[in-house]
Amino acid sequence: MKSFNFKSATNTKEATKLATGRATFLAGGMSLLPAMKLRLAAYSELINIKKIKSLSGIKVSSKSLKIGATTTHAEVSSSKEVGKSIPSLAILADGIGDPQVRNRGTIGGSIANNDPAADYPSACLALNATIHTSKRKVPVDKFFKGMFETDLKKGELIEAIEFDVPEKSGYAKFPNPASRYAIVGVYVAKFKNEARVAITGAGSSVFRSKELEAALSNNFSTSAVDSANISSKGLNSDMHASADYRAHIIKVMAKKAVSSC
């Protein structure tokens, strides 16, 4: 790891003001610090945002659930409000990594990082989230741009993620047994007029499945998943799973997610 300066911001204005040049935000450090240690990333300044009180916490209303960016995975998984309004989100958070990762890692860090196998991006896409940043509100369909890439601009801070509350929803993942990252993860959400389905781990970035959305919008059931045709074209093929195997697992996980609703 190269040497760097460490600064703690106490409010969002200070954090964004400090984030110039070769500076970056530090939340839980669960992705950023390993990347720096492996020399995959280098920064001259790390701006700690964990001391900014307004960035943490959970607010619920009848239509939406808003989670502050520095809220940890452990806080989401143990939150009564999340468990009551979107239980599948608490289940997702409880399945991230191990207890150490869940106690340090944050929801904002996870979606800013946009690892292709991360869990939260699938929840954001399926639950039609709005990403509140220091500059604007970004609809989720415009937020995830590609592998480790988002619509965030230099120095733009995620402040909160606001999820639409669905009628019902479920998440199922086939985890890598070592890291718990998703080899394939499927998040399904049923809203009044449509079903949204997001898949993580299977492609270069999280994506919505038009085939599963059409099938489940028509009939939200496991038999509808059976009728969907999932192509392996463009899916990841690596030492963990071939593209054909991932296509198969997408249907298995989609059925599991629907059954869990």
Name 109's bridge partners: none
Three-class SS state of 56? coil
At residue 93, what are phi and psi to the nearest 5 degrees?
Answer: -65, -35
Name the residue nearer to ligand FAD (CB basis): 34 or 139: 34
Minimum distance, C-beta of residue 137 to ligand FAD, in the bound complex (Å): 14
* 24 interacts with ligand FAD by CB under 6 A: yes
Name the residue nearer to ligand FAD (CB basis): 120 or 174: 120
> According to CB under 6 A, which residues from 176 to 215 bind ligand FAD?
179-181
Residues 63-102 vs ligand FAD: string with x where CB under 6 A?
Answer: ------x--------------------------xx---x-
Minimum distance, C-beta of residue 48 to ligand FAD, in the bound complex (Å): 9
* 119 interacts with ligand FAD by CB under 6 A: yes
Three-class SS state of 150? strand
* Residue 161 · residue 129 · CB < 8 Å: yes
What's the one-letter identity of residue 196? Answer: R
Name the residue nearer to ligand FAD (CB basis): 13 or 63: 13
Minimum distance, C-beta of residue 250 to ligand FAD, in the bound complex (Å): 17
Alpha helix (H) ranges present in the chain?
12-18, 32-37, 73-78, 80-85, 87-94, 99-104, 107-113, 120-126, 210-218, 222-227, 243-259
Q: Are strands 23-26 and 45-48 parallel, antiparallel or unpaired?
A: parallel
- State whether the Cα torsion 195-255-205-12 is positive or negative: positive
Residues 27-66 vs ligand FAD: string with x where CB under 6 A?
Answer: xxxxxx-x--------------x-----------------
- Site residues (CB under 6 A) for ligand FAD? 24-32, 34, 49, 69, 96-97, 101, 104-106, 108-110, 112-113, 115, 118-120, 152, 157-158, 179-181
